[in-house]
Structure 1
Amino acid sequence: MKLCILENDTLDPAVVSTYTGYGTMFKRLLQQAGAQGEFDIFNTTRGDYPPSFDPYDAVLLTGSKADSFSQEPWVLVLKDKVQTLLQSKKKLIGVCFGHQLIALCLGAKVGRAPQGWGAGRMQYQWTAPELAQADGRTEVALLASHQDQVFELPSGTQLLATSAFCPVAAYGVDGQLFCIQPHPEFVEDYSAFILDKRRDKFGEEQYQAFKQSLSHGHDGLAVARMMVAFINGK
């Protein structure tokens, strides 16, 4: 496996020594899920890209504090790259911001969710029978942190997971796309740090509920195994 990770953010300096970046968090998770091979990480916020995407089996787009619909120059450059990758049928994995950006490139509507922030541990239902069968259950719990959502299923894709809070929680195209709103790469301590940092964006009752949800465990590793199978064509 040769994976290109487009890292679309830089972490708060307070946690860089522990987590390095979203690219490294994904590398660790996918290796735990059985991935073997090369992982090349490029930070798009600094204009860092590979000379060519051709050598890679897949490209993974991480999350970001930026809006996928932003007019920031680096986001517009990334959007152009993603549109080219889609046209070439390169395998893509999108997470949170990446999930939203790919949907935008496919013509779907993305924006601020009227229901507000989704954060902490959240429940989702698999709508794709093959994923429910692979996971051995119909529901999955994952860590999330987002105020934007994909409002409609992108044309030509299949709904993979949903929830009452986030109807288009995951979508895909067999053999080409695997996109998901929550963060399989997050761990509880990092989610707690993000919640504390954004505490003033939530009401106190909502903050406490998000924080308490972190004690119940999550299924990030199970989703990472699905990503590895997707990259390997299984």
Structure 2
Amino acid sequence: MKLCILDNDSIDPALVPTYGNYATMMERVLRDAGATTWTMERFSTPLGEYPDSFADYDAVLLTGSKADSFSDEPWVVELRRRVTELLDTDTKLLGVCFGHQLIALCLGAKVGRAPQGWVTGRNTYAWHAKDLLPEGERDSFALLASHQDQVLELPAGTTLLASSERCPIAAYARGQEVLCIQPHPEFVEDYSAHLLNKRRTLLGDEHYTASIESLAQGHEGTDFARVMVAFVEGRAGATA
């Protein structure tokens, strides 16, 4: 399998030696989830980097970003144009956070500021698509989140996969072609803590403290990454 990772952000330079970039984080969790033989190639969309042809890849993954998916920034407009074209091909699409939102926009859904404000820390999401689980049965995933925007309506032609009280459309899929998730399977607790510390004043003491304390409960990012790997490899059921 060959995966194109469209990296839509850069992280704080001081953290690069530890975490690399968002593409590095995604590659790590996907390999931990079983994608040990995949070839993964990174392109920085804010820098205008794209492959010569998406047809050379089995799947394209869009990472998160601090940018708004509905932004008029030229690089975001160009990314939406390319994703809209990709949706008419056989190449599989994966989206995480910003990527989840941008793909929903390209599918005609409404995306905007979450009415309840920031969603951060460890959150539990009800899982509604047991046919997509590569192994065993479960009814929820505990994942790390960091977002103030979210998908506000389910895109036409897609199936709701996961939800929570604070994020009703937390994951969706379209057939065997598109799989998107709002929280971050690639995040680890220390990186989430860094983001929370950075936004402590913005979040307020009560929100910040609850989110920081939630990190001690652990998360199931690798488990969800197994769903992504199975989806790309065609080992998961169709979602209609």
| Counterpart residue identity of residue 6, structure 2 | L
Q: Report the residue type matching 1:99 in the other structure.
A: H
Aligned residue in 2 for 1:7: 7
Judge conservation of contact 1:58–1:92 (CA < 8 Å) in 2: yes
Cα deviation per residue 1:9-37 (whole Å; 9 max; x = unaligned)? 00111211111100011111111111022
2:221 maps to 220
TM-score calculated relative to the size of structure 1 = 0.98
Instruction: Name whichever of 130-139 and 78-87 sits farther off.
Output: 130-139
Are residues 1:30 and 2:43 paired? no
Unaligned runs of 5+ in 1: none
**Percent identity over the alignment?**
61
* Residue correspondences, number: 234
* SS, match of residue 193 in structure 1: helix
Counterparts in 2 of 1:1-234, with a 5 A limit? 1-35=1-35, 36-131=37-132, 134=135, 136-234=137-235
Shift of 1:62: 0.2
**Normalization by structure 2: what TM-score?**
0.95
Q: Is the 8 A contact 1:132 1:138 kept in 2?
A: no
Residues 23 and 41 of structure 1 are in contact (CA less than 8 Å); yes or no, is this contact kept in structure 2? Answer: yes
Quote the offset at 1:132 in angstroms. Answer: 5.8
In structure 2, runs of 5+ residues without a counterpart are: 236-240
Poorly superposed stretches of 4+, deviation over 3 Å? 131-135
Assess if the C-alpha contact under 8 Å between 1:4 and 1:39 holds in 2. Answer: yes
Cα-Cα RMSD: 1.0
Compute the displacement of 1:174 (Å): 2.3
Letter in 1 for 2:73: E
> What letter matches 1:10 in structure 2?
S
Give the Cα–Cα distance (whole angstroms) in 2 for the partners of residues 142 and 122 of structure 1. 6
Partner amino acid for 2:142?
A
CA distance in 2, matches of 1:191, 1:148: 17
| Distance (Å, rounded) in 2 between the aligned partners of 1:134 and 1:174 | 19
The 1-side partners of 2:29 and 2:130 are apart by: 24
Q: Is the Cα contact below 8 Å between 2:144 and 2:219 reproduced in 1?
A: yes
Distance 1:30 1:208 in 2: 30
SS of equivalent to 1:116: coil
Shift of 1:133: 7.7
Structure 2 CA distance for partners of 1:135 and 1:112, relative to 1, 3 Å: farther
Structure 1 residues 98-155: Cα deviation after superposition (integer angstroms, max 9, x where no partner): 0000000000000001100000000100011314684521011000000001001000
Contact 1:188 1:214 in 2 (8 A): yes
